[in-house]
Each structure stands twice: as C-alpha cells, then as structure tokens.
Amino acid sequence: MQLNAEIKKATDPIYQKVSKVIPEIEWSFHAPLIHKINMLKKEKNAVVLTHNYQTPEIFYGVSDVAADSLALAVEASKTEADIIILCGVHFMAETAKLMNPKKKILLPDMGAGCSLASSITGKDVRLLKEKYPGVPVVSYVNTSAEVKSESDICCTSANAIQVVESLGTNKVIFLPDQYMAKYISTKTKVQIISWVGTCIVHERFSAQEINDVKKQNPGIKILSHPECSPEVIAVSDFTGSTSGMAKYVDKNQPEKVMLVTECSMSDNVQVNNPNVQFIRPCNLCPYMKTITLPKILDCLETEANEILIPEMISRKARKTVERMAAIGRGH
C-alpha cells in the first residue's frame, strides 16, 4: 500500500500527535495500514481495544480504547460493536470474551501469550484449594479463563489491594505473580499465600540498574510496576499500575522520569507529556510485540483468530471478572 494524498490527509492528524516517537520514514509504512484498518472498522462495526504496552502506531493510530487491563475489561462489557479486536495478549482477549460473551472477540496473533498466565493451570489452583481449604482465591487478571473459573475473584494491578481486602478474611491465596503478592502484603494486614509466577518483562529489572540510572540522572523520578521485585520497588519513587504511572506523569510533570515496565509505555505516555524527558532502560514484552498493524488488518479482513471459551469454564470465570469490575479501581 502506498501513502497517497487521501491517506496522508486522513492520517496526518494522528502523525502530528506521535511525530516525536515515530520517525517520518516509518510513518510512511504505517499510515496506509492505519487508514485501511480505520475504514474497515466502520464497515464492520468493529472496535479496537488496546493495552498500554502496544506500540504508538497501534496505540494512537487504530485504537478506540487504549488503557490498562481493568479498563479494557470494563470497556469490553460496554461496547455495542459487533466485533472486538483485542490488541494485547491472549488472557486479555479471553477476559473481553468473558465480559461480552455474545460478541465476536478477535486476537491478531494467537501466539500472544504471557509468562504469568502460563505459569499456572486450573489443576494447580484446585490443588492449592485442597491444601488451604476455605481460603478464598484471588487471581490476577494475567491468568487463563480456566484459572479464573477456579478462583473466587480476579484483580488487576490497579485494584489488587482493594480486592484482597474486600473479601473480609484474614488470609487469601493470591496467584500467580509472587512479586505482586509481596507488594500487596506490604499494603494490607491480610496474609497472602502466593504462587511462584513472574513476569518476564518486570523480573529482569534490578535495583542496581535503577540505582545506576539515578546516579546518572540526578533528580529523576522512578515509577515501577508492582510486578517488579521488592528490591526494585524499594528504590522507586512510585509504584502502581500502568494507568497509575501515566497519571503520575500527567499530574506531576517531572523533569526526568523512568517507567520501570514495558518499553512502549514510555513512548505512549510521552506523546501527551512532551516536556518530560523519559529515560528508557526498559524491557520489551515479546508477546505484546507479536501484535502488528498487518496482523490487525488481516484479522479484521478475515475475522480469524476468534476467542472461544467452553461454556462450563466461561460461566464460572465470568463471575470472577464481574466481581473485579464491580469493585472498580483502587485509590
């Protein structure tokens, strides 16, 4: 596809927004795809829901909703579109299907997995419940529908503490992220029994790396995700969900900032904060990066890669996600 005058006119407003993070030579390849995707969305009454870790050409170019896991789950339940394209990873697409079971949910790449989601199975949860009878199970949203169906409630990094405390018990099983569990345990009196999963993006950050960045950039603000290790969180100025980090930058406008999370997050937040300097020692999520504009277009044209969940699993899993959504976002 060529960048002709019609496409240039239609996509120029988008490029003006992202020009500081996407070189013009790259945009000439992105723009025709963006234009065609946006035209097809109208024809097919489709929406694109995009996670914060997607690249800027997707995040700003074709998204109807771009947000964190909690907001995507809520928006999936609200949309009146016939087709939802989920630009994220598999568990996010499953969650969208749970929230809107009658809609067609498509994932541009069925190989877009998650190290946390693959670290635990429904059988593992059943064994945990046998070991700790009567203890409620809180599943991080980064889990399969099968795992959710064996749980009592889901949470995201934006509302994990609220969810844990909403159960009114002195002990919960939290899975699968062991670092998230440790973070929650510092914020509540509820005893946390954890699993041993980790995120391949966040586990690679070290406190030494963060301290080196601080030495090289006096006054820099370090914002970390709760999936990071306790050592990284200890040397951070703020810890929160992806939406929490974005709001921190929007509100505080630090001179320099480092987002200790997936690389594309910094690009997407910088677009709306041009006066903030982003220091970018970051880690790519190989799963998120399987989602590309050509795959989104192909998915929309062919309506392939539909997310289907067995009714026996979806019925139980849906309740856990609805309970999470009802609690809403943490303070």
Task: For 2-14, write each residue's pLDDT tens digit.
Answer: 788 899 999 999 9
Q: Which CATH superfamily groups domain 117-199+309-327? A: NadA-like (3.40.50.10800)
Q: What letter represents residue 292's amino acid?
A: T
What pLDDT score was predicted for residue 68? 85
Which carries the bigger pLDDT value, residue 280 or residue 88?
A: 88
- Give the Cα separation of 34 and 292 in Å (integer): 11
- Give the Cα separation of 82 and 302 in Å (integer): 14
Closest CA relative to residue 222, chosen from 200, 205, 203, 199: 205
The proportion of the chain whose per-residue pLDDT surpasses 90, expressed as a percent, equals 91
Look up the CATH architecture of domain 202-278: 3-Layer(aba) Sandwich (3.40)
Full 3-state SS string of 136-167: CEEEECCCCHHHHHCCCEEECCCCHHHHHHHC
SS3 49: strand
Where do the structural domains in the chain lie, given as residue ranges?
A: 5-113+288-302, 117-199+309-327, 202-278
Question: Does the pLDDT at position 329 exceed 80?
Answer: no
Question: Does the pLDDT at position 30 exceed 70?
Answer: yes
What pLDDT score was predicted for residue 239? 97
CB atoms within 10 A of CB 206: 14
247-251, 288-292, 309-313, 326-330: the lowest-pLDDT one: 326-330
Angle of CA points 259, 12, 64, to nearest 5°: 60
Closest CA relative to residue 86, chosen from 119, 46, 55, 116: 46
Rounded mean pLDDT of 293-310? 98
- Give the Cα separation of 96 and 94 in Å (integer): 5
What pLDDT score was predicted for residue 234? 98
- Give the Cα separation of 104 and 289 in Å (integer): 23
Asked if omega into 230 is within 30° of 0 (cis), the reply is no
- Give the Cα separation of 207 and 271 in Å (integer): 28
SS3 4: coil
Tokens read off for 204: 């690679």
Question: Does the pLDDT at position 20 exceed 90?
Answer: yes
Return the exposure string of 127-152: e unless at least 16 CB atoms fall within 10 Å of the residue's CB, then b. ebbeeeeebbbbbbbbbbbbbbbbbb
Rounded mean pLDDT of 35-39? 97
pLDDT tens digits along 121-175: 999 999 999 999 999 999 999 999 999 999 999 999 989 999 999 999 999 999 9
Q: What is the pTM of this model?
A: 0.93
pLDDT tens digits along 66-111: 988 878 888 888 899 999 999 999 999 999 999 999 999 999 999 9
Question: Does the pLDDT at position 210 exceed 80?
Answer: yes
Q: Which CATH superfamily groups domain 5-113+288-302? A: NadA-like (3.40.50.10800)
pLDDT tens digits along 233-260: 999 999 999 999 999 999 999 999 999 9
Residue 244: partners with Cβ closer than 8 Å, 6 or more residues away: 157, 158, 238
What pLDDT score was predicted for residue 287? 97
- Give the Cα separation of 253 and 91 in Å (integer): 33
Rounded mean pLDDT of 286-302? 98
Decide whether 5-113+288-302 matches 117-199+309-327 in CATH topology. yes
Inter-residue contact 305 to 291 (CB < 8 Å): no
Measured in whole angstroms, the distance separating CA 126 from the mean position of its chain's CA atoms is 26
What pLDDT score was predicted for residue 331? 47
E-assigned strands of 88-220?
104-106, 137-140, 153-155, 171-175, 191-194
Tokens read off for 280: 């970018």
What pLDDT score was predicted for residue 328? 81
Mean pLDDT of the chain: 95
- Give the Cα separation of 222 and 234 in Å (integer): 10
Distance in angstroms between the alpha carbons of the first and the last residue of the chain: 46
Question: Does the pLDDT at position 286 exceed 50?
Answer: yes
Rounded mean pLDDT of 26-37? 96
Question: Does the pLDDT at position 330 exceed 80?
Answer: no
